[in-house]
Amino acid sequence: REDLVKQNLSYQQELANLKARFQENASAWGREKAELMTKINDIDRPVYTPRPRKLEPI
């Protein structure tokens, strides 16, 4: 019985560590996704280019 209690506590600690790592990764992935979406939007946004002026005939 005591072994099971120790094993259970060990599993709970491991689960807590995995949960913390998952949350850190999810947060980092969210930031990375936002950065990539910004880059994609910047690529898709048409760049303003002035129209060339018409040359006057000489």
- The letter for the amino acid at 52 is P
- pTM (2 decimals)? 0.56
Q: Is 18 exposed, middle or buried (0-12, 13-18, 19+ CB in 10 A)?
A: exposed
Q: How far is CA 3 from CA 9, 10, 17, 21, in A?
A: 10, 10, 21, 27
Instruction: Give the pLDDT of residue 8.
Output: 97
Instruction: Give the pLDDT of residue 49.
Output: 66
Print pLDDT tens along the chain (58 aa): 999 999 999 999 999 999 999 999 999 999 999 999 999 988 877 767 666 777 776 6
